[in-house]
Amino acid sequence: MYTASIITVSDRAANGVYQDQSGPAVTELLKTREFEVCDTLIIPDEKSIIQKALLTYCDQGVHLILTTGGTGFSARDITPEATKEVIERETPGIAEYMRLRSMEITPRGMLSRGIAGIRDKSLIVNLPGSPKGAVENLGFVLPSISHGLDMLNGKPENSDESQH
């Protein structure tokens, strides 16, 4: 079983203007996939705060760190930029696949700027801020993420599929 933490990045949710729905929706999906959700956090769209949260979870050895929100076009949407400065290796296929599958549902899927990447033994993935978008996007990639976490954490090969 892998550990996961979820960071909701939203000025309005952090200030109590509305209740976060994305974090709980993602938590429920992870629990059905045998992830242990260690922590959830709601923070404002502030680069230094986002980076500090990501680094804290990486330093704690959390396997999967998911962010929801801050991936759009608004001036305050800076989650990908904060993430990019924390990761050591980008994993572009995860974000590319989420955008591809999202565009099958809505053409606006192309507007997500989320990224994914590795820091030490942690995988960080940026998800959209809407509960529906966050759950759909995570659902698209979660089976492959589990295999990626196996490789990242040195577990033996568990698939006959070829690796590229």
Does the pLDDT at position 162 exceed 90?
no
Mean pLDDT of 44-73: 98
How high is the pLDDT of residue 60? Answer: 98
How high is the pLDDT of residue 163? Answer: 47
Task: Collapse the DSSP code of 46 into the 3-class scheme (helix H, G, I; strand E, B; otherwise coil) and give the result.
Answer: coil
Tokens of 57: 């979870």
Could you tell me the domains of the chain?
2-152 (3.40.980.10)
Cβ within 8 Å of residue 78, ≥6 positions away: 45, 47, 50, 70
Average pLDDT, the chain: 94
Q: What is the pTM of this model?
A: 0.94
How high is the pLDDT of residue 156? Answer: 75
Structural element, H or E, at residue 118 = strand 116-119
Rounded Cα distance between 70 and 77, Å, is 4
